[in-house]
A and B are shown apart, each in its own frame.
Chain A
Amino acid sequence: MNPCFVRKYLYGDIPEETGGSTEQQPTSAAAGWPLWEVFIRSKQGLDHKHAGSLRAADAAMAIENARDVYTRRQEGVSLWVVESKFIHASNPDDAESFYTPAEDKIYRHPTFYDLPDEVKHM
């Protein structure tokens, strides 16, 4: 594949050149605040789920901003924030070789097995 047609991003949804890394650029108002990914637990017993992202100078500010931006209507009881640069993602170009091997292993699903009706719930 001609590389000039493909942009490779390293940080989840965020292009690497704007990943908000404070290591690459000094923290200053001009360079902008780092980007954070926000995860919300909507109620006790459920997983934290990715909600979106925001910019903040540090983790405490990221949590406070996430409260204001993503939970104005009681959407959550717990928040996680993680700097976007720390998220590593699989490469979409590899998706075929990476995920399709599971496709022909239908015996991993319960419906693969034909059982007599007398076996009611199994």
Chain B
Amino acid sequence: MQLHDLEQAFQDKIDQETKIEPRDWMPEAYRKTNVRQISQHAHSEIVGMLPEGNWISRAPSLKRKAILIAKVQDEAGHGLYLYSAAETLGTSRDQMIDDLNSGKAKYSSIFNYPTLTWADMGAVGWLVDGAAILNQVMLCRTSYGPYARAMVRICKEESFHQRQGFESLLVMSKGTAEQKAMCQDAINRWWWPSLMMFGPKDSESTNSDQSMKWKIKRKTNDELRQNFVDMIAVQIKLLGMTLPDPDLKWNEARHHYDFGEINWEEFWNVVKGNGPCNKQRLDARRKAHEEGAWVRAAASAYAEKQSQHQQKVA
């Protein structure tokens, strides 16, 4: 079979909604796109633990602390599911982690913003996880089997993340004047970065067309972003708060909310490494990796010794 026949057979499978499994033939570009996307997704889960980990020791009650710990632990788990899925494509975990620590690999820019107050925990859950969920629900139907299966597991766990965030803000929104102000301030700071999570506009996105054709993605960046705005514009009313966008307005003709222009200069700046916390996040990851080296070495040495011992006994 010639290359173009294989490619045609591959596209036919995709068109018929047959999932692609690791041992199936696939175009190199499909493999590479999936490795890039899945490993970036994994890195985002891992780095995403940092802004929230920041508040575990200062949670206002034992209940909120337990919730936050559970959420951060979920994120570690989600990172691990995704690293496993990426490994089925022939990349190694060590390589992926090295790429993250060296700054070569990207992760979601949202985690390069600081979590300044307790209300940020609510805003991150509601807005950041809310935006992530829209993307992740779509990815449950992605064409690469191991990625889709990881996403199904993640989505089952993720919905608590958004709900606890909204509920936490809801409590603050009914609190003292200071609590209300803190709630509004967190929403003001997280709104625009959350919109940026969906990536560049469709007209600027280089990966979108081919990813749609291969059904890696099933909705474009702009479609997902619009879904998000429509969802949040309704939910904000329940909080009695406002979104920091004077152009946000229901458009009867489109049956969607119109919204203002994103600051794309800021978006690209953070992507390129100049966000408020890029350096801090990478430093934290590197420090954890380096300081954990002796633990990894000790576990390997112990396993080696045990297996030698067993061989002797046998």
Chain A residues at the B interface, C-beta cutoff of 8 Å: 1-2, 5-9, 13-15, 17-18, 22, 27-30, 32-33, 35, 52-55, 57-58, 61, 68-70, 72-73, 89, 91-93
**CA of A89 to CA of B73 in the docked complex: distance in angstroms?**
33
B299 lies within 8 A of A33 (CB) = yes
Known contacts A15-B88, A55-B93; A9 and B74 CB within 8 A of each other = no
Within the complex, the shortest CB–CB distance from B20 to chain A, in Å, comes to 10
11 cross-chain CB contacts under 8 A: A2-B3, A5-B6, A6-B25, A9-B23, A13-B23, A27-B300, A27-B303, A27-B304, A54-B80, A72-B70, A93-B25
Q: Which residues of A contact B306 (CB under 8 A)?
A: 58
A33 lies within 8 A of B77 (CB) = no
Query: Could you give, for residues 254-275 of chain B, a 1 whenever the CB lies within 8 Å of some chain A CB and a 0 otherwise?
Result: 0000000000000000000000
Query: Could you give, for residues 82-108 of chain B, a 1 whenever the CB lies within 8 Å of some chain A CB and a 0 otherwise?
Result: 001001111111100000000000000
**CA of A8 to CA of B90 in the docked complex: distance in angstroms?**
11
B288 part of interface (Cβ distance < 8 Å): no
Q: Which residues of B contact A57 (CB under 8 A)?
A: 296, 299-300, 302-303
With a 10 A CB-CB cut-off, give which of B3, B84, B149 has the most chain A CB atoms: B84
Q: Which residues of B contact A53 (CB under 8 A)?
A: 84, 87
Q: Which residues of B contact A5 (CB under 8 A)?
A: 1, 3, 6, 25
Q: Which residues of A contact B307 (CB under 8 A)?
A: 22, 58
A29 lies within 8 A of B25 (CB) = no
Within the complex, which residue of A2, A15, A52, A61 is in contact with B150, where a contact is CB–CB below 8 Å?
A52
**CA of A38 to CA of B101 in the docked complex: distance in angstroms?**
28
Interface size class of B (residues with CB under 8 A): 35 or more
Within the complex, which residue of A18, A29, A92 is in contact with B90, where a contact is CB–CB below 8 Å?
A18
B302 lies within 8 A of A58 (CB) = yes
Q: Which residues of B contact A29 (CB under 8 A)?
A: 293, 296-297, 300
Q: List the count of A-B residue pairs having beta carbons below 8 Å apart.
A: 93
B157 part of interface (Cβ distance < 8 Å): yes
B92 lies within 8 A of A18 (CB) = yes
B53 part of interface (Cβ distance < 8 Å): no
A72 lies within 8 A of B88 (CB) = no
**CA of A93 to CA of B306 in the docked complex: distance in angstroms?**
40
Q: Which residues of B contact A92 (CB under 8 A)?
A: 21, 23-25
Starting from the known contacts A5-B6, A8-B23, A13-B21, 4 additional A-B residue pairs (CB-CB under 8 Å) come to A28-B297, A28-B300, A29-B293, A68-B77
**CA of A32 to CA of B80 in the docked complex: distance in angstroms?**
15
With a 10 A CB-CB cut-off, give which of B25, B90, B303, B306 has the most chain A CB atoms: B303
